[in-house]
C-alpha cells in the first residue's frame, strides 16, 4: 500500500497536479484512503457472510462518528490494522447478541464509556502534527459529539431495550472507550497528570 500510494503521489507530482513539497502529504493521504476503503470492503464482506450488514453498519457509523474526533489505538502495520478492524466489527455480532440479554448492564457500560470518552476528549495522533489550539478544538468537538451520541443511545436503550440495533450502536461507544483506555495504558498516561490535557 505504501509503495502504491508513493507511486500515485509521484505520478501526480510529475503531471504538475501537486507540488514536490506536498508529495509526502498526498502519499500518506492516498495510503490512508486505500487502507480505509479496503478495510471497509473486507468488513462489508464479513458482515454479509454473517447476515448482519445493517447491524454492522450501525456499529460502524456510531464508532466512526466518535473516533473521528477522539482518535484511539493505532496498529503499527497495515496487516494489523486490517485484522483489528475486521475482528472489531465482526465481534459486535456475538457481543451485541449477548449484551442484549442484559440491558441494564449495557446501559451502565455505555454511561461509563461516555464518561471516559468525555474525560479524555481526544488522543494526540502521532501521525498528525496538531497544534495545541487544534487539539483543544478536537477535544471540544469530541466532548460535544459523545454527549449527543450517548444521550441518544441511552434514551433508545431505555425506550426500546428489545431493539437489537441499539446494542450495536452502544458497542460503538463502548469499543471507543476501550480503545482510548488502551492507548492511555500503552503510553503510560493512566497515572499522574497528563500534560497535554486542557
pLDDT in tens, the chain (198 residues): 678 778 888 888 888 888 887 878 888 788 878 888 888 898 999 999 999 999 999 999 999 999 988 887 777 777 787 788 889 999 999 999 999 999 999 999 999 999 999 999 887 766 666 678 888 888 899 999 999 999 999 999 999 999 999 999 999 999 999 999 988 888 775 544 444 443
192 found inside a domain: no
The SS3 call for residue 123 is coil
Looking at the structure, tell me whether residues 56 and 138 fall in a common domain.
yes
Residue 193's pLDDT is 45
Whether residue 165 is found in the same domain as residue 97 = yes
* Domain count along the chain: 2
- 75 and 132 assigned to the same domain: yes
Q: Which domain holds residue 151?
A: 51-187
**Could you tell me the end-to-end alpha-carbon distance of the chain, in angstroms, rounded to an integer?**
36
Which triple of cell numbers denotes residue 152?
A: 441518544
- The whole-number pLDDT of residue 1 equals 62
3 and 33 belong to one structural domain = yes
Same structural domain, 36 and 104 = no
Residues 147 and 66 in one domain: yes
Of 178, 52, 158, which Cα lies nearest the Cα of 106? Answer: 158
Is there a single domain that holds both residue 56 and residue 9?
no
Please, are residues 110 and 116 in contact by the beta-carbon 8 Å criterion? no
- pLDDT of 25 reads 80
Please tell me the predicted confidence (pLDDT) of residue 195: 42
22: in domain: yes
> Is residue 22 located within the same domain as residue 100?
no
The C-alpha atoms of residue 174 and residue 180 are separated, in whole angstroms, by: 10
Instruction: Say whether both 59 and 157 belong to one domain.
Output: yes
Angle of helix 78-99 relative to helix 103-120, nearest 10 degrees, comes to: 140
Domain match, 158 and 174 both? yes
170 and 86, same domain (yes or no): yes
Amino acid at each position: 500500500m505504501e509503495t502504491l500510494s508513493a507511486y500515485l503521489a509521484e505520478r501526480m507530482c510529475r503531471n504538475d497536479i501537486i507540488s514536490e513539497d506536498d508529495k509526502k502529504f498526498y502519499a500518506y493521504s492516498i495510503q490512508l484512503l486505500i487502507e480505509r476503503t479496503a478495510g471497509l470492503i473486507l468488513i462489508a464482506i464479513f458482515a454479509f457472510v454473517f447476515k448482519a450488514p445493517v447491524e454492522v453498519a450501525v456499529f460502524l457509523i456510531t464508532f466512526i462518528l466518535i473516533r473521528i474526533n477522539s482518535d484511539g489505538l493505532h496498529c503499527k502495520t497495515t496487516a494489523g490494522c486490517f485484522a483489528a478492524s475486521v475482528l472489531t466489527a465482526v465481534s459486535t455480532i456475538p457481543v451485541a447478541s449477548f449484551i442484549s440479554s442484559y440491558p441494564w448492564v449495557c446501559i451502565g457500560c455505555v454511561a461509563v464509556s461516555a464518561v471516559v470518552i468525555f474525560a479524555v476528549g481526544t488522543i494526540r495522533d502521532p501521525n498528525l502534527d496538531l497544534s495545541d489550539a487544534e487539539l483543544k478544538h478536537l477535544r471540544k468537538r469530541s466532548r460535544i459529539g459523545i454527549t449527543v451520541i450517548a444521550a441518544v443511545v441511552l434514551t433508545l436503550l431505555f425506550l426500546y431495550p428489545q431493539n437489537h440495533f441499539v446494542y450495536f450502536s452502544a458497542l460503538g461507544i463502548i469499543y471507543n472507550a476501550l480503545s482510548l483506555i488502551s492507548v492511555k495504558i500503552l503510553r503510560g498516561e493512566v497515572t499522574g497528570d497528563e500534560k497535554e490535557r486542557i
